[in-house]
Amino acid sequence: MTRFALTLEFDGTPFQGLQRQKYGPSVQQSVEEALHAITGEDATLHSAGRTDTGVHALAMRSHVDLNKDIDAFRLSEALNAHLRPDPIAVTHCAIVPDDWHARFSCIGRRYVYRIVNRRAPLTLDKNRAWQVAQELDHEAMHRAAQALVGRHDFTTFRSAHCQAADPVKTLDRLDVEREGEDIRIHAAARSFLHHQVRSMVGCLKLVGQGTWREQQIPEALEARDRAALGLNAPPHGLYFVEAIYPSEGE
């Protein structure tokens, strides 16, 4: 049995998320079906994170255990051939130790959320960014975001269906940057609650357009009540950017 680590890039638009679902296509299903076509094995894909319907990934880390004798390069080439035309690509593949786990060995995760702040309809970025026509003050958004950095109870910013046992998380980074009409919100933490990034972005958008005062962000956080949430940003602007592992940080 050999454990392979995969780095996946995918457009989440046609999928019901990364994790296999009872109804509708998923990234996991597509990869596992490709693995079966290559090896004849019913392998299970384990990943560093889960993504909702419409959420994208630039570098999702996953692993799979296979009995077939195959080198990493041949496996990645075969997977990319079998995954067509699904918008999924294996950008890297390597053999890793048996105790390396894509989810449980991960010590950090990074996301970026894209807002395109313009009135004209999106063409190239359709389904890949959240279009906001009203002018946004990204500096006010960044200032307000800093109230969320650190260790907090993020109950307000978690989905009602979140399965995490504890709403307390440590947010390492939440920065808002702008280049022209493109606003990017960078979020980093060891782990996130379900919908946490999208919920934080939605409230920051309200600050940017002047609907919320900057102080309403810490007020919503302190409420520890989902009813205090102002807005949940749509999924198509969210990208899983990086999974971090101890050995790779040395």
* 125 and 90 in a common domain: no
Same domain, 149 and 183: yes
| pLDDT value of position 160 | 83
- Tens of pLDDT, residue by residue over 175-230, are 999 999 999 999 999 999 999 999 999 999 999 999 999 999 999 999 999 999 99
Residue 102 lies inside a defined structural domain of this protein: no
Residues 24-37: tens digit of each pLDDT: 999 999 999 999 99
Percent of the chain with pLDDT over 90: 93
Task: Name the more confident of 101 and 50.
Answer: 101
Residue 250's pLDDT is 42
Cis bond before residue 85 (omega within 30° of 0): yes
249 has a pLDDT exceeding 70:
no
Give the residue numbers spanning the domain of 226: 108-246
143 and 88 belong to one structural domain: no
Quick one: 114 and 226 in the same domain? yes
Please give the model's pTM, rounded to 2 decimal places. 0.95
- pLDDT exceeds cutoff 90 at 232: yes
The answer as to whether 103 is a domain residue is no
In a domain, 101, yes or no: no
Q: Flag whether pLDDT at 140 surpasses 60.
A: yes
Q: CB-hemisphere CA count at 13 Å for 225? A: 6
Q: For the chain, how many structural domains are there in total? A: 2
What's the one-letter identity of residue 114? R
Residue 105 has pLDDT above 50, yes or no: yes
Asked if residue 160 belongs to a domain, the reply is yes
- Residue 76: give its domain's CATH number: 3.30.70.580
Domain end among 40, 70, 96: 96
Residue 142 has a CB neighbour count (10 Å cut-off) of 20
What's the CATH number where 125 sits? 3.30.70.660
Last residue of a domain, one of 75, 96, 117: 96
Quick one: average pLDDT of 237-241? 98
Q: And the tokens for 123?
A: 């063409």
Q: For position 94, what pLDDT does the model report?
A: 97
Average pLDDT in the chain:
95
Residue 10 lies in a domain: yes
Q: Which residues are catalytic?
A: 52
Arithmetic mean of pLDDT, 75-91: 97
